[in-house]
A and B are shown apart, each in its own frame.
Chain A
Amino acid sequence: MPRLRPSLFWTARRDISPFAALLLRVCRDVPSAANELRWIREHIALTSSPAPPKFRLWKLCEKRAKGTPLQYVLGTQPFGGLEIKCRPGVLIPRHETEAYTTELAQILVRHQPSSSTPLSILDLCTGTGCIALGLLSLLPSPVHIHGIDISPTAISLANTNLHHNTRLGLLPPQPSSIHFTPADIFSPFLLPFLTQPTWDLLISNPPYISRGAFARETARAVRNYEPRLALVPDRDGETAVLGCASEDVFYARLLQLAGILAPRRVFFEVAGIEQAARVVDMVRGDARLSGFYPQVEIWRDSPHEEYEMQRVRNYEVPFRGSGGARGVYLCRHDQR
């Protein structure tokens, strides 16, 4: 991290508040320090605690200044119209996830076969449950959603989030059937759980950072505070069996499941263009999968309807949106 000029700290201290100067350590620029300070103050104003507000402000700012992600400091992160609770041990929802979830919900609404049959969605590696709950809030009921995560902490947080948002009135009061189940997606006993005849959407934001990238490319707040379990696939045994790069092992397994379950649409979040290209290769290289999914797209950070064709390794692939490559989208039908 480049050294900050002392004048920045003086400016923040003089123009905004000493707390802003404290937050500058992690925020790295004055406007975002001012923003974060405002959000911390709003949080204190909205929540009650026996401690005096000034003390709480100092405590929270100090915690944040040490590098704790703001979402863990405040305990929540907005996701679409929802308020998702965040706790250490569970990955914090990202803006990119919010963007593609919204876009997918629009696609599902547009292509819903009929309003009477409920849409069924399988969310693997659900974490806070943000994708499942986000889709629940955006799709017309009834919806059938099944969220699966290996971590019991994540499953309990996902259930907490369901009740929290229902209580806030952000979700329909009688949740369409939505379950969160703790399970390992590599387990051979997983399939009997997934009894739905045909899933409309298989969506997953699996761990996808390679060990090297985790050491070098991740932000300090991510590396030090967010669970490694949700970020780096440490699955050496399965990697050897599936025969792929260690960071792609979840995609290999997810595509295996897609080949069995044959959901109508599939979406995986990926790290960037190289990983997206590798996933496209995996789909195209498998005769069964490429038969199922004639349509393979790469979505960028902010996806929208228009797409452009681009050559990625061996294949011409439609790219949607703007920004870095963020996801791979498969669709069984020729309708977009």
Chain B
Amino acid sequence: MLAAPWICRSCARSLRSAGVPRLLRRASTIATLPPALVERARKIAAEHDKLTTALETDFDQKTAVRVGETSRVATALREFEKANASLAELGSLLESNDAELRELAQDDLESTQAQLADLGRKLSVALTPKHPFADMPCLLEIRPGPGGTEGRFFADSLFRMYKSYCDNKGYPTRIVKYDVSESDGQKGSEGEVALQEAILEVQQTGAYGEFRGESGMHRVQRVPATEKSGRTHTSAVAVWVLPSFPETPSTDAESEWDNPESDFYIDVTEVRVETMRARGAGGQHVNKTESAIRLTHMPTGTMVSMQDSRSQHTNRREAWRLLRSRMAQQKREAREELAQNLKSSVLASSQITRGDKIRTYNYQQDRCTEHRSGLDVHNLPNVLEGGEKLGEIFESVQGWLTERDIQTILAEEQAEAAPKGKKGKGALP
């Protein structure tokens, strides 16, 4: 970290932009779309083509899902390469002897380059893996940081901001929790109440993908309504964004059993079925009444046995039902644990401080600063009403997240390529 205790904002920003490579901006020229990324895209596109032909001959659920995942990259790459080819063609035209032709090519060149830059960005976005929960609805949890009522008032402002943003966008929402500290009885400057904790569920598919950049510390700088001497206070509000899992349907959802996406799905080949009957002669020689069935899911070792009914058929059905719901329960628990880890990785409860803020709302300067993407937005009231200015901030955060993902991919590609290169050298005669 920097040794200086305080740095003015413009200096800090210039320092940061020097340190962090801006990939999206560099992607505006072809030369800078890293070859590793293009290589990765080609690999995925090749896989896509292979799977598509495989799918024509026989249909397989898993393959179909994979084809759907990779089609985004394949399409983007195809368009990108087409633009690249036309650019190369233009380059050759530029060297031609015909002056008129050169002029025409020069005219086209700029638009093609712009198009190529756009396609390159699309390609890199397509390459970034989708967040596993991106398609889910989400829960926004808002909690004020330590401090007085000022933070609580601002927490309510934030809550209203998200609520009205969703209303403006037409997303259905549900207030899961809205705890107000009754003791104060005061109101903020805009009629806010002192919020202790609020949870807002955004019941829109893909809401998690849109809102996940919001989790973190939001800082406010303003003169509170309760302040008499007119000093600016700084307080903080923490926001968590968690994926919201749909409730398990109360019915057994038998139709879901064959769907590999469903919690209730079990690969039948992974289950060992045992009828618990004594060995020895069977068939007509003996007349056993035992009808017990034992199912063992081998990967997890989950065991279910059922012997209530005289009918083996019924026991088998019940055992499968029980095994399915146990497995679904396990899967769900694992997922919830993952979400829990996500929560603690985003922000530990003890970490609610003014330090690692992601955004600052400064009332005096009518300014909202997004610290990660380095975006300054004026017209704070519009932001707090959840208007288009907030939308701009969301977009910039999305851009920042994508950029970070691309860098992760690049690092992965480089790490993968490095040992291969060494091996290649060693193999040469």
Contacts and interface: CB of A to CB of B under 8 A. Distances in A.
B188 to A, nearest CB: 67
B251 interface: no
Contacts of B310: 39, 77-78
Q: Which of B282, B289, B312, B314 has the most CB of A within 10 A?
A: B289
Given A32-B290, A35-B307, A213 B285 contact: yes
B26 interface: no
A80 B316 CA distance: 10
Contact of B313 (A80, A217, A324, A326): A80
Interface of B: 273, 275, 277, 281-291, 307, 309-314
A227 to B, nearest CB: 11
Interface string A202-222: 000101110001000111011
Contact of B287 (A94, A207, A323): A94
Given A98-B312, A98-B313, A302-B273, A226 B285 contact: no
**Contact residue range for chain A?**
35 or more
Contact of B311 (A78, A94, A209): A78
Contacts of A213: 285
Nearest to B312: A95
Given A39-B310, A78-B311, A219 B286 contact: yes
A208 B284 contact: yes
A269 interface: yes
Contacts of A79: 311, 313
Interface in A31-48: 32, 35-36, 39
A209 B25 CA distance: 85
A94 B283 contact: yes
B90 to A, nearest CB: 59
B289 A36 contact: yes
Contacts of A96: 282-283
Given A78-B311, A96-B283, A271-B284, A32 B289 contact: yes
B289 A70 contact: yes
A209 B311 CA distance: 26
Contact of B275 (A208, A231, A302): A302
A219 B287 contact: yes
Given A78-B309, A302-B273, A209 B314 contact: no
A36 B308 CA distance: 10
A80 B291 CA distance: 12
A89 to B, nearest CB: 15
A70 B291 CA distance: 13
Given A35-B307, A272-B281, A222 B313 contact: no
Contacts of A160: none
Interface in A11-65: 32, 35-36, 39
A215 to B, nearest CB: 12
A32 B313 CA distance: 18
Contact of B284 (A32, A35, A69, A209): A209
Contact of A95 (B273, B291, B307, B309): B291
Interface of A: 32, 35-36, 39, 69-71, 77-81, 91-92, 94-96, 98, 205, 207-209, 213, 217-219, 221-222, 226, 230-231, 269-272, 301-302, 323-324, 326
Contact of A323 (B282, B286, B314): B282
A207 B284 CA distance: 8
A230 B287 contact: no
Nearest to A300: B282
Contacts of B282: 94, 96, 301, 323-324, 326
A222 B285 contact: yes
12 contacts: A35-B289, A78-B311, A95-B275, A95-B288, A95-B291, A96-B282, A205-B284, A222-B286, A222-B287, A231-B284, A302-B273, A323-B282
Nearest to A28: B278
B267 to A, nearest CB: 14
Contacts of A269: 283-284
Contact of A78 (B275, B284, B312): B312
Nearest to A323: B282
Nearest 8 Cβ contacts at the A-B interface: A78-B311, A219-B286, A70-B289, A218-B285, A69-B287, A221-B287, A222-B287, A80-B313
Contacts of A219: 285-287
Contacts of B312: 78, 95, 98
Nearest to A271: B283
A81 B310 CA distance: 11
B313 A92 contact: no
A71 B284 CA distance: 14
B289 A91 contact: no
B273 A222 contact: no
A269 B310 CA distance: 23
Nearest to B289: A70
Contacts of A209: 284-285
A283 to B, nearest CB: 20
Nearest to A81: B313
A136 B285 CA distance: 26
B286 A218 contact: yes
B283 to A, nearest CB: 6
Contact of A71 (B275, B286, B287, B307): B287
B281 A78 contact: no
B313 A94 contact: no
A78 B307 CA distance: 14
A32 to B, nearest CB: 6
Contacts of B314: 78
Contacts of B283: 94, 96, 208, 269-272, 324, 326
A81 B315 CA distance: 11
Given A39-B289, A77-B310, A94-B283, 11 more contacts: A78-B310, A78-B311, A96-B282, A205-B284, A218-B281, A219-B285, A219-B286, A271-B281, A302-B273, A323-B282, A326-B283
Contacts of B275: 95, 301-302, 323
A335 B314 CA distance: 31
A217 B287 CA distance: 12
Nearest to B272: A322
A47 to B, nearest CB: 14
B412 to A, nearest CB: 39
Contacts of A218: 281, 284-286
A271 B307 CA distance: 26
Contacts of A270: 283
A213 B285 CA distance: 8
A208 B311 CA distance: 25
B309 A217 contact: no
A94 B291 CA distance: 11
